[in-house]
Amino acid sequence: MDREMLDDQRELVALIEDAGWEVTGLELSAYDSPWVDEDAPEAEVTITARKPYDDGTEEDDSDEDESPFRIS
């Protein structure tokens, strides 16, 4: 595998992490393109990342559940 491909992969991961995402999976595939008559390989990077979002509610220690779907 080409060192340049790995450097590019690291750069992509750094950009995603800088945006607040946590990379949970990573796959790099290198291959010779069947559509191009050059000898230069191509690469495909698949990155899986997660980012939790705040739902806008503050945690409350009370036992009251304000859900209209809960039957008391």
Mean pLDDT, range 40-56, rounded to an integer: 89
Token readout for 54 is 């705040």
The confidence score (pLDDT) of residue 65 equals 65
Mean pLDDT, range 33-41, rounded to an integer: 73
In a domain, 35, yes or no: yes
Please state, in angstroms and rounded to a whole number, the distance separating the CA atoms of residues 40 and 5. Answer: 12
Residue 24 domain boundaries: 3-50
In a domain, 36, yes or no: yes
Q: What domain count does the chain have?
A: 1
Which has the higher per-residue pLDDT, 69 or 53?
53
| Exposure b/e, 26-53, CB count within 10 A at least 16 = b | eeeeeeeeeeeeeeeeeeeeebeeeeee
In a domain, 44, yes or no: yes
The confidence score (pLDDT) of residue 47 equals 95
In a domain, 71, yes or no: no
> Could you tell me the CA-to-CA distances from 35 to 3, 8, 39, 61, 70 in Å, in that order?
23, 22, 11, 61, 59
Which pTM was predicted? 0.65
